[in-house]
Amino acid sequence: MRAAGIWDTVGGRELRVLPDSRSARTKVTWSPAGRMIGVTGDSTRIFDATLGYRLAIGLVAERTNR
C-alpha cells in the first residue's frame, strides 16, 4: 500500500508528491528529457524514491542514474 500523496512514474522512476496540507495543489513539470523544470504548490515536498532525496518548491533537479 502506498503512502498518501500523488504518485507518478516518469522515465521509469517513481516520484511521490507530498502536500503538507490537504488544501495544497501541486504540479510537477518535466521536460521530455526527464529534467524537472518546475514544481508549484502550497507547502509541498517532493520525494524521488529512486534517487532518495527530497526536493523543495521551485528547485530544479536533474534526474540521473547514480
Contact 56, 28 (CB under 8 A): no
**pLDDT score recorded for residue 33:** 64
pLDDT in tens for each of the 66 residues of the chain?
A: 344 444 455 555 555 655 554 445 556 666 666 665 565 655 445 555 555 554 443 333 333 333
β-pair type (13-19, 6-10): antiparallel
pTM of the complete model = 0.30
**pLDDT score recorded for residue 27:** 64
**pLDDT score recorded for residue 6:** 44
Measured CA angle at 7 (ends 4, 23), to 5 deg: 55
Domain boundaries, the chain: 6-55
**pLDDT score recorded for residue 15:** 58
